[in-house]
Amino acid sequence: MIYLDNAATTMHKPQVVVDAVARALCSLGNAGRGATSGALDAARTIHGCRSKLARLLGCPRADHICFAANSTAALNTAICGLVHPGDHVVTTVLEHNSVLRPLNRLAAECDVQVDHAGCDPLGRLDYDDLERLVTPGTRAVVVTHASNVTGNIVDIARVAAIAHAAGALVIVDASQTAGSAPIDMEGMGLDVVCFTGHKGLMGPQGTGGLAVMPGIDVAPWAMGGSGVHSFEPLQPLEWPTRLEAGTQNGHGIAGLSAGLDFIEAEGGVDAIAVHEASLARRFYKGVRDVEGVAVYGDQDQQGRSAIVSLNIGDIDSAQISDALMQGWEIATRPGAHCAPLMHRALGTERQGVVRFSFGYFNTADEVDIAVDAVRELAG
């Protein structure tokens, strides 16, 4: 199979990740639950991964890396822990439902006012519209680093400057970019960055988290076991315990830690980004002039995610994706991609789009086969 659905998950993992998970399954106990060798090994593994993530994301404190099951859980934690009843929040039409639905719920249940900055016909964020919507009194701006539909990148440093000028916080959804695009929380002025482990970071599913700058008071969202301070009636407020109720996924985090080591050994985020971008560009150049093919997003944008989404005529995207799998064993993602406002803005609500997303383990030969398949389907 030619796997071109890396924006959903990187199915092909480095062998070091597989090995790390297997070792952890046979050796790790429960971190923070006693002083046995297994518990201490688990604690060391989890702390080591925190430190690596802090370096990768430019977070000044490793104990402000809080693990979660995925970026959706992290975004719920950040949004619900920072936004209060009656607050005003600005987000964008580029967002995934992991941002939209928590905000919709707060709007319905807590009288939170939510505004959505728009985009241009290529799906690029309208920064002027964003700046118009962010006013003194706005509590937070919640924004994706890159659209999971078009691959368009967002200038999150510019967004942070707009937010901070009005006294608002900025929460970044880095699901599509952590591990494959540079992120520097201190340098870019980011307050919270939410990430998943199973995409660009090359870790297992069930891993992710949020990085929080010192001084940002994210209230505990979930409460439960912490291994310490057991007689306190509420979740302890020390970092990272305040946002990590219950047993952590030590086995998955061991794999995530190995994925971070792999990224560093391969030359770091920049090297991975160059490789993935070259594959996406090769594919785009091969399909852009095919009659009947419509490509979405700004494919000339620098630093964009390695995504090329397209349609062929008025054929439903699911039909094209099925044909690619049945005829060429090429895995893609059709449909709405959990991003309803992005599709509404692009005019693809009914048809959806076929998303090709490229990862580090894809090859130029695989790209060329995919190009030939699109040409044949459009012929």
Fold of 15-265: Aspartate Aminotransferase; domain 2 (3.40.640)
| Model pLDDT for residues 294-318, shown as the tens digit of each residue | 999 999 999 999 999 999 999 999 9
Element (H, E) at 300: none
**Alpha helices by DSSP H, the chain:** 15-25, 37-57, 71-82, 97-110, 127-133, 156-165, 185-188, 250-265, 268-287, 317-328, 340-346, 364-378
Model confidence band, residue 230 (pLDDT cutoffs 50, 70, 90): confident
**Alpha helices by DSSP H, 116-184:** 127-133, 156-165
Average of per-residue pLDDT values in the chain: 96
Q: Which two tokens stand for residue 243?
A: 């946002």
Q: Where in the chain is the domain with CATH 3.90.1150.10?
A: 2-10+269-378
Mean pLDDT confidence for 7-27: 96
| Model pLDDT for residues 351-368, shown as the tens digit of each residue | 999 999 999 999 999 999
CATH 3.40.50.80 at 2-10+269-378, yes or no: no
Q: Where in the chain is the domain with CATH 3.40.640.10?
A: 15-265
What is the pLDDT, as a whole number, of residue 34? 64
| Model pLDDT for residues 49-106, shown as the tens digit of each residue | 999 999 999 999 999 999 999 999 999 999 999 999 999 999 999 999 999 999 999 9
> Tokens 């006012």 appear where?
113
B/e letters for 298-321, b = 16+ CB within 10 Å, e = fewer, are: bbeeeebbbbbbbbbeeebbeebb
The DSSP symbol for 321 reads H
Question: What's the start-to-end Cα distance of the chain, in Å?
Answer: 23
Residue that wins the pLDDT comparison between 91 and 35: 91
Contacts of residue 196, Cβ cutoff 8 Å, sequence gap at least 6: 70, 71, 74, 175, 178, 207, 208
